[in-house]
Amino acid sequence: MPLRIEPAGLADLRRVLADHPRYWGERDLRSLHLTALVQEFGPTCLVARAGDGIRGYVFGFVTPAGTGYVHLVATRDDARGCGLGRRLYEAFAEAARREGGVRLKAITSVGNTGSIAFHRRLGFEVRIVDDYNGPGRTMAVFQRDLPLLPDQGLT
């Protein structure tokens, strides 16, 4: 069965949470996997599905100002290094455009050097912002514009 990237459902969220260590290793990020994201922002919460289950996912939403915010993106331990993270971001970018998105944004801790390098490879600008996530919580903030599609040009 080929890999399909499609909207996530609640059963997908439960499956990802059940297999959490395969996506996140020792980091316990289950509290960031919000059911409301999948329920309310279905078109921008995506899973990469194959015959052996969910190989990766991206959960996010588009703000009223047109920012496609990536809340979580992860690939399963046996699916890393094959470009799946890039494919998930591309699928999210397309979904965000359909929802009115004009830019992408994500954040991570300043110590997550792998994520910082990954986002730079995807063309994101990276800023280190003090107190971004509360006092003493410095974060790496990623942002990049989405290119306009031919039918989105200014007239």
The answer to whether the CB of 12 falls within 8 A of the CB of 55 is no
The CATH topology of domain 4-152 is Aminopeptidase (3.40.630)
Measure Cα distances from 11 to 19, 37, 50, 79 in Å.
12, 13, 15, 20
Bin 147: left if φ > 0, else alpha if -120 < ψ < 50, else beta. beta
The answer to whether the CB of 106 falls within 8 A of the CB of 142 is yes
Residue 154, pLDDT above cutoff 80: no
Residue 155, pLDDT above cutoff 60: no
Q: With bands split at pLDDT 50, 70 and 90, how would you rate the model's confidence at 147? A: confident
Q: Where are the domains of the chain?
A: 4-152
Residue 59, pLDDT above cutoff 70: yes
Structural tokens at position 147: 């290119």
Handedness of CA 146, 8, 61, 128 (dihedral sign): negative
Whether the pTM exceeds 0.85: the reply is yes
Q: With bands split at pLDDT 50, 70 and 90, how would you rate the model's confidence at 1? A: low
Q: What is the C-alpha to C-alpha distance for residues 73 and 79, in angstroms, rounded to an integer?
A: 13
Residue 65, pLDDT above cutoff 80: yes
Residue 152, pLDDT above cutoff 80: no
Structural tokens at position 109: 């801790």
- pLDDT above 90 covers what percent of the chain? 92
Long-range contacts at 59-63 (CB < 8 A, ≥ 24 apart) = 59/8, 59/33, 59/34, 60/92, 60/96, 61/37, 62/96, 62/99, 62/100, 62/101
Structure confidence by residue, pLDDT tens digits, 120-131 = 999 999 999 999
Mean pLDDT of 4-10: 97
